[in-house]
């Protein structure tokens, strides 16, 4: 099944108003490579500025609260993100699962909140190095997929990002065969859960994606895009990754 590639940047807790200038080059590349969906998840403080600066580019958030409103000090809801100009949000990133103790159930509720509000979701999964070394990677990741997707999930509004934790920000990546095997396992789990609807889901790879390795990773079977951290912070590094996804 032909799926449009999605290349999404995750700025994490990086960037300031001056950094929004990088989005000009990224938006220009997105306008050239019209066969690729391009998105950037900026810090929440920059969503409005980014969306105003590059209205054609999909700007998103890096988290959301599962409720629409209420007494949740410091949190942001999906309707708030929409009003700021977001079109999507990342949920279940391993840094939040670890630092904020986020569970699969919470991640699924966050994805559901995004859908309720009309936002797209990128749900992240991935194993630790210890789990991989113990031969547990596929079991751990497919269990995360099962637990982190809401019951009514659909490829129309949800993509899944496989991000091995040991590959994030380390410059290390799995072999292409290992990436393809994990994406195959995720697809098989989705088929178990959702039947034929599984085929529409875009499965992104994330973890030390760079201009040097993007083409090989994006060419791997069942890899429908990339979730890019460090290399999404500048147009100079992110644009070649967008180009690598285009054909
Ligand atoms: P890096 O591309 O910096 O390894 O980060 C990957 C990531 O965590 C994206 O969400």
Active-site residue flag, 93: yes
User: Of 95, 112, 138, 163, which residue is the catalytic one?
Assistant: 163
- Residue 226 CA to residue 204 CA, distance in Å, equals 5
Active-site residue flag, 196: no
Which atom of ligand 1 is closest in space to residue 12's alpha carbon?
10
Confidence (pLDDT) at 2? 84
Confidence (pLDDT) at 247? 80
Decide: 46 and 15 in contact? Cβ < 8 Å. Answer: yes
Which atom of ligand 1 is closest in space to residue 167's alpha carbon?
4
- Residue 3 CA to residue 159 CA, distance in Å, equals 11
Distances (CA, A) of 228 to 27, 48, 53, 139, 214: 16, 21, 21, 24, 10
Per-domain boundaries in the chain? 5-209+223-245
Q: How long a stretch of residues is the chain? A: 247
Angle at 62 between CA 60 and CA 68, to 5 degrees: 85
Decide: 201 and 155 in contact? Cβ < 8 Å. Answer: yes
* Centroid of ligand 1 to alpha carbon of 168 (angstroms): 5
**Its pTM surpasses 0.85:** yes
Confidence (pLDDT) at 98? 97
**What residue ranges line ligand 1, CB within 6 angstroms?**
10, 93, 163, 168-169, 206-209, 227-231
By DSSP bridging, strand 58-61 and strand 36-41 are parallel
Closest C-alpha residue for ligand 1 atom 9: 229
Domain 5-209+223-245 has CATH 3.20.20.70: yes
User: Of 33, 93, 115, 183, which residue is the catalytic one?
Assistant: 93
Q: What is the pLDDT along the chain (247 residues), one digit of tens a residue?
A: 789 999 999 999 999 999 999 999 999 999 999 999 999 999 999 999 999 999 999 999 999 999 999 999 999 999 999 999 999 999 999 999 999 999 999 999 999 999 999 999 999 999 999 999 999 999 999 999 999 999 999 999 999 999 999 999 999 999 999 999 999 999 999 999 999 999 999 999 999 999 999 999 999 999 999 999 999 999 999 999 999 999 8
* Centroid of ligand 1 to alpha carbon of 42 (angstroms): 13
Find, among 241, 61, 94, the residue nearest to 161 by Cα: 94
């Amino acid at each position: 099944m032909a799926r449009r590639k999605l290349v999404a940047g995750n700025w994490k807790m990086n960037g300031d108003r001056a950094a929004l200038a990088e989005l000009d080059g990224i938006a220009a590349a997105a306008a050239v490579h019209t066969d690729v969906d391009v998105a950037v998840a900026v810090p929440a403080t920059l969503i409005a500025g980014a969306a105003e600066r590059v209205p054609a580019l999909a700007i998103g958030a890096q988290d959301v609260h599962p409720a629409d409103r209420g007494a949740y000090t410091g949190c942001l809801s999906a309707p708030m993100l929409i009003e700021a100009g977001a079109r999507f949000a990342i949920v279940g990133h391993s840094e939040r699962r670890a630092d904020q103790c986020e569970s699969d159930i919470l991640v699924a509720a966050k994805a559901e909140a995004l859908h309720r509000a009309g936002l797209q979701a990128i749900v992240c999964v991935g194993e630790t190095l210890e789990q991989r070394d113990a031969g547990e990677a596929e079991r751990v990741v497919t269990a995360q997929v099962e637990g982190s997707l809401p019951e009514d999930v659909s490829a129309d509004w949800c993509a899944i990002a496989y991000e091995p934790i040991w590959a994030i920000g380390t410059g290390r990546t799995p072999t292409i065969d290992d990436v393809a095997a994990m994406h195959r396992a995720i697809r098989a789990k989705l088929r178990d859960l959702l039947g034929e609807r599984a085929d529409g889901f875009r499965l992104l790879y994330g973890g030390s994606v760079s201009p040097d390795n993007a083409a090989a990773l994006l060419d791997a079977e069942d890899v429908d895009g990339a979730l890019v951290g460090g290399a999404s912070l500048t147009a100079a590094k992110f644009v070649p990754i967008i180009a690598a996804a285009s054909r």
